[in-house]
Structure 1
């Protein structure tokens, strides 16, 4: 590989214009492709087939209008007084104007809604009064009916007594000898009266039965109305306190309903709404759009990121000594990022790409692009100082340091591409884009760097350095090729300071214990890490999203910022009345659960096969109690004729994403750690060194996560790092950190350990070799780490609140891994282990390929050639 890269470097140096124009052409193609094919970046992170997504998809089918995106807007009086009629009218006019926008389906006026709510409350009260009046009338009717029955019974008794008297009179007349017919004829008038009385009695009974039926129907109607009224009352009780107008009348929440689902809302749609809101002026009223309305694609590069690059440029100038040479790594980074990040954006119209995806590519591409060019340029400069000619030096630097760059870049690329094994699309895409940007950084370093070094020729050294070299070369030309400064990359040349002494045992023990203790203490907060996604409270203080979030929290309670949508399946052919009863019973059941503040009915679909409720938690969307509530709701069995509770909404979506990422994290960590061990075994042909390297990576990673938890979850140093409201750690940050930090850690391990290994192979005892390798690689590792920290640190104060903790985690992780693990802990442990660090079983030595990462075979070949040339000239 070293010889191949040597030829590649010489070829690039021989045709510098071809290489430069080729890369600039690729940058131009990437830019043109972006402007031609680039689509819209997503501001919302989703994972397919999560419980929330499944419920959301069904809501879109069953409740098309309800599934459309919404965006609350908060209106608050500036002086803390209630809204005046004029202010209410102006707010209504503004909402009417918003209705006219193409992106808006409709708006909800909070004052109208509150009036309707009060009317509903009054209707329930009136209905209750009507029921009470109806029951009173029913009771009176029942009493009257009972009295009528008693009267009928008395009449019937009178008629029976009269009939008895008639019958007795007839019998008496017959007994006195009057003929039966004559006796009956004599009693006929009285009998006729009795018969008429009985007819009247039967008629009265029929009328009484009719009245009783009417009373029964009235009673049934009252019972039905009472059940309906009770359902309405239960729903009202479950939603008690829910209103779009605050209790003190100083704050209202209007709702903007877009005409597209949340993920389909384009940035220009939100910009149109925001423009209308920003132009509106209502005297004495603050207009605060929430995150759902104001959310736009954040600026990818801002002032703080530029500051980071400036710091990197300063470090490069100090390290390399000339402006021209210091500018080459920056040029490499710009070209690599220009092709990788910009080119990836051209595919945003084909695949769903979140806004943070290209940012990761820019962060990594720029950082490693600078570092990889630095490694090659630094080696080239040291060779020029030793008197080597420019062309030979370019090829050798590309073959030796370039081989190390190729290996180091490969580890980063593999770690990033391994993000695809998580099975999470957006994370795999982030890894792919980041991996492509790192791969391009490697290719740029191996081709464009030699070409540019050919352009600048001997000016890679300052005039002072060239004068010093010439003086040394003229007086000691015979030995110049064997000399090297402390900062040279002698892990590749094989020459080390013979005066180097090993560190003392006391220093090694103290350093190892202190390093592990520091990393362990820093890692303690990581044990309390909670994962989540940022809500409006994480936005910068003073922003509309933050102010509206806090206004809703203060006026309506924290749960209003993270409502849940709960669905339940109903039985087939459920009637409207039954659907309402089931909704009321389920709302009552949910309202009695811990962590629930309010339950508001959202209705049923057309065929009453599914109902929906809005559940407002007692606490905010990122609180543990809200997370527990989501799990409890999904496990709840309805105590009514409903089944299969589902939960959707932004809050449950965030929880599902965090769960999926947390589940994938151990698998990814195991793969990365295993990969680390295998790669290190191949590179260093040792079993102990890979264990030390991987163990150090795990420690630095845990310590970095501890720092993230302390600052972004606990709120330590929140003012310095501009943390508005502490909350859960960004759910995909640990996975990203593991992948990126692994690759960078292996970079630093490579540039330190290869020097130790070569010194040991060339005859130094194990403990002396540790210090020789440490001295030969520390300057370039220190410079590379400072550049990485500067680039990543520039993103700590980015506009996007999701980027900030990633920038901190990477910057802090590089700081710990480079300066604590690689420059302190690893040399100390290597000293304590001694020669055992390089033990390698013979059977394993036979099957493991010799990759010659340090390129020593190429260096020896060139050294022999130079000696032969010198001998021939002599």
Structure 2
């Protein structure tokens, strides 16, 4: 493999303008397709094949008008006054008039004072006004597609709210246009800015620091374009793009950093620059390929869970990593060829040890010598830190709360005035099939539901059919929908038991030639948790098993992959612990509103972090093995690995941590939590496991760390990750190696 990559790197260097032109043409093609197709990312969440998924599918099929309404913006404006809303009639009337004047309002007559609505129609009173008359709900329906909401739509509403709150009247809002997200960009800019500073320190030169940024922008931009184009032909959820941005930026810059750093080392050895680029791609590029392959396996394996959103996240992340690998192998040497002898100028004089030296012991070398001298204390201290960080994991809670910070106040008022279950309604669908009459089954279901505990205002529970007569939709209906509001919170055990009790009516409903399913966010959460629990063990087995086999081929060792895998367990548990401490327990006050961890975070984090963990394992430890194979003692090889790799790996880890941490600035809860968790995971795994524990254990094992049983050695393909076949190409004067250049 190293020979093939050597030829690819040298080709890209020599034919730089063709390679750069090809990348530019590909970007132009994607941009043209986007302009022509005008694709849009989806925002809905589906669970096909589950009870909740079936319920939602039947709702879409049998109640298309209701489903269509759910795609439009319906904002709930909450008004509250401690002295009673009836004391603020004039203020509320002014508010409703302003709300009715918002763009694309579909039914301005329904935007009215909740007190007036309750007095005019007592049957609606419990739905719009709290029992004590202090909290009311105003629904603002707008002909705005939820998928096309703009920040300007949200700002228009917030301006109205801000103008009319005060003087004892509290006005908040949730749902609808409140779900419009800012265009973002701050996190990406901050991530690239930090990366640039780190690379200046790493290379000690300006132009070299720019090269990984250029390829990172190209890689991430192209990936996002490809995802947008694919959204024209398949469902791509907008939530999935967050992790693509995070991972794409991080790995693109990291992989480029390793190639450029190795190119500088090879240039210092002499010979033709094109051959130096070939050797850089043949050595560091081989590590990039296997590191990228490990990440791709980890994220693609998320498909085994069977949840579309997580599958899209995995495939999108895999695409980002694949593009990052390709840019590192082709675009990097092409750009190096374009800048020529100016790659590492102008040098910054006050940055020391930017290049590895055999004569100077840098901080990294000194640290490596300390580890190989007394490895056991480093192992014990490193693992103790991770164990301490993992302790809070026992309090970890999972949920799917996607509420933005500026909706929290409204949600709390709704909970206070209308009960905790108002935000966790259950959509019960009773379907009688083709040409069936659902009335008897629906009446039976409603009667049974009214008798269940934890149902809010059971006397109001009823069903509505999909009949063709608008005046009497229950006549001739074959499908009925029943809206059930729990008294308890969506995440409570009581609500879960209520949902399962309703599903327990299935045999009785089936006896009446019908079927019953429960949908809604609460039901989706329950089914999601069940699928995640069921898929976790098979997923871990697939990811760890395949990656372990790859690592055996990379390191030609059983001990090194085993140590790396066990270290990953410590780092990921510590990550769960710290993330729980910050987001659920409110430690350090980093977030305003505590919440459970996203339900899919554990399984997604396992995949991504395992892939990233193997990245640093490959980049650092392959250099140690390379030096060992070329005659160094095991401990000297470890020190040499620190000499040539510590600065680069540290820089790469800092860049990745910074990119991930910057996404905490995102308004989306998903991006905040994923960014924080990934940043913490990289910190624990890169600096404690890969930089301390793994080298320390390898040091204790000595030569045993680098061996395979004889029978297994014959079966494992030699991938030549160390680049032995290309190590001296272009720098040897022997006739045989001169011929190899042709």
CA drift at 1:71: 3.0
Residues 1:85 and 1:683: Cα distance change in structure 2 (over 3 Å): closer
Instruction: Render the CA deviation track for 1:695-721: whole Å, top value 9, x for unaligned.
Output: 11222122212222222223222x22x
Q: Which residue in the other structure is 2:561 paired with?
A: 690
Residues 1:62 and 1:759: Cα distance change in structure 2 (over 3 Å): closer
Q: Which residue in the other structure is 2:645 paired with?
A: 777
Q: Distance in 2 between matches of 1:635 and 1:315?
A: 59
CA drift at 1:78: 6.2
How many residue pairs end up in the alignment? 716
Q: Which residue in the other structure is 2:389 paired with?
A: 522
CA drift at 1:630: 2.4
Residues 1:270 and 1:762: Cα distance change in structure 2 (over 3 Å): closer
Q: Distance in 2 between matches of 1:315 and 1:527?
A: 36
Matches within 5 A, 1:327-726: 327-462=210-345, 503=371, 507-536=374-403, 539-540=404-405, 543=406, 545-568=407-430, 582=444, 585-590=447-452, 593=453, 595-599=454-458, 600-605=460-465, 606=474, 607=476, 611-636=480-505, 645-717=516-588, 719-720=589-590, 722-724=591-593, 726=594
Deviation larger for 321-330 or 373-382:
373-382
Instruction: Render the CA deviation track for 1:393-412: whole Å, top value 9, x for unaligned.
Output: 22221222122212222222
Q: Distance in 2 between matches of 1:445 and 1:865?
A: 29
- SS where residue 128 of structure 2 aligns? coil
Residues 1:255 and 1:61: Cα distance change in structure 2 (over 3 Å): farther
Specify which of 772, 795, 802 is matched with residue 670 of structure 2: 802
CA drift at 1:730: 1.2
Q: Distance in 2 between matches of 1:500 and 1:102?
A: 68
Q: Distance in 2 between matches of 1:829 and 1:581?
A: 68
- SS where residue 779 of structure 1 aligns? helix
- SS where residue 659 of structure 1 aligns? helix
Contact 1:107 1:254 in 2 (8 A): yes
- SS where residue 76 of structure 2 aligns? strand
Q: Distance in 2 between matches of 1:782 and 1:504?
A: 19
Larger Rg: 1
CA drift at 1:808: 0.9
CA drift at 1:51: 1.3
Residues 1:756 and 1:618: Cα distance change in structure 2 (over 3 Å): same
Contact 1:502 1:768 in 2 (8 A): no
Q: Distance in 1 between matches of 2:724 and 2:568?
A: 27
Contact 1:277 1:287 in 2 (8 A): no
CA drift at 1:689: 1.1
Specify which of 84, 103, 127 is matched with residue 243 of structure 1: 127
Residues 1:787 and 1:584: Cα distance change in structure 2 (over 3 Å): closer
Instruction: Render the CA deviation track for 1:101-153: whole Å, top value 9, x for unaligned.
Output: 45999778744652365369xxxxxxxxxxxxxxxxxxxxxxxxxxxxxxxxx
Instruction: Render the CA deviation track for 1:658-680: whole Å, top value 9, x for unaligned.
Output: 33233222221111110121011
Residues 1:535 and 1:246: Cα distance change in structure 2 (over 3 Å): farther
Q: Which residue in the other structure is 2:172 paired with?
A: 288
CA drift at 1:790: 0.8
Q: Distance in 1 between matches of 2:213 and 2:121?
A: 63
Contact 1:379 1:488 in 2 (8 A): no
Q: Distance in 1 between matches of 2:557 and 2:139?
A: 64
Contact 1:382 1:485 in 2 (8 A): no
Contact 1:586 1:638 in 2 (8 A): no
Please list every run of 5 or more consecutive structure 1 residues that lacks an aligned counterpart in the other structure.
121-240, 470-479, 490-495
Q: Distance in 2 between matches of 1:580 and 1:852?
A: 68
Q: Distance in 1 between matches of 2:89 and 2:626?
A: 84
Contact 2:105 2:140 in 1 (8 A): no
Q: Which residue in the other structure is 1:41 paired with?
A: 41
Residues 1:619 and 1:700: Cα distance change in structure 2 (over 3 Å): same
Please list every run of 5 or more consecutive structure 2 residues that lacks an aligned counterpart in the other structure.
466-473
Matches within 5 A, 1:818-829: 818-829=686-697
- SS where residue 858 of structure 1 aligns? coil
- SS where residue 451 of structure 2 aligns? helix
CA drift at 1:323: 1.2
Q: Distance in 1 between matches of 2:32 and 2:360?
A: 46
Matches within 5 A, 1:70-469: 71-77=74-80, 80-83=83-86, 84-87=88-91, 89-90=93-94, 93=97, 101=105, 110-111=114-115, 113-115=117-119, 118=122, 242-256=126-140, 265-268=146-149, 275=156, 278-279=159-160, 282=164, 287-299=171-183, 301-462=184-345
Residues 1:458 and 1:269: Cα distance change in structure 2 (over 3 Å): closer
Contact 1:712 1:723 in 2 (8 A): no
- SS where residue 720 of structure 2 aligns? coil
Q: Distance in 2 between matches of 1:386 and 1:846?
A: 34
Instruction: Render the CA deviation track for 1:502-534: whole Å, top value 9, x for unaligned.
Output: 8467x3222212222222232233344333212
Q: Which residue in the other structure is 2:471 paired with?
A: none
Q: Distance in 1 between matches of 2:689 and 2:634?
A: 19
Residues 1:816 and 1:246: Cα distance change in structure 2 (over 3 Å): same
Residues 1:274 and 1:114: Cα distance change in structure 2 (over 3 Å): farther
Instruction: Render the CA deviation track for 1:578-606: whole Å, top value 9, x for unaligned.
Output: 8997576334312xx2x444333243322
Instruction: Render the CA deviation track for 1:757-807: whole Å, top value 9, x for unaligned.
Output: 233323333344333334432221111101110111111221111111111
TM-score of the superposition, structure 1-length normalised?
A: 0.74
Q: Distance in 2 between matches of 1:694 and 1:298?
A: 39
Contact 1:532 1:731 in 2 (8 A): yes
Q: Distance in 2 between matches of 1:644 and 1:282?
A: 48
Residues 1:636 and 1:292: Cα distance change in structure 2 (over 3 Å): farther
Q: Distance in 1 between matches of 2:109 and 2:220?
A: 41
- SS where residue 463 of structure 2 aligns? strand
Q: Which residue in the other structure is 2:726 paired with?
A: 858
CA drift at 1:255: 3.4
Residues 1:778 and 1:705: Cα distance change in structure 2 (over 3 Å): same
Q: Which residue in the other structure is 2:596 paired with?
A: 728
Residues 1:86 and 1:432: Cα distance change in structure 2 (over 3 Å): same
Deviation larger for 603-612 or 360-369:
603-612
CA drift at 1:427: 1.9
Residues 1:404 and 1:623: Cα distance change in structure 2 (over 3 Å): same
Residues 1:347 and 1:738: Cα distance change in structure 2 (over 3 Å): same
Q: Distance in 2 between matches of 1:732 and 1:457?
A: 47
Q: Which residue in the other structure is 2:470 paired with?
A: none
- SS where residue 857 of structure 1 aligns? coil
Matches within 5 A, 1:21-40: 21-40=21-40
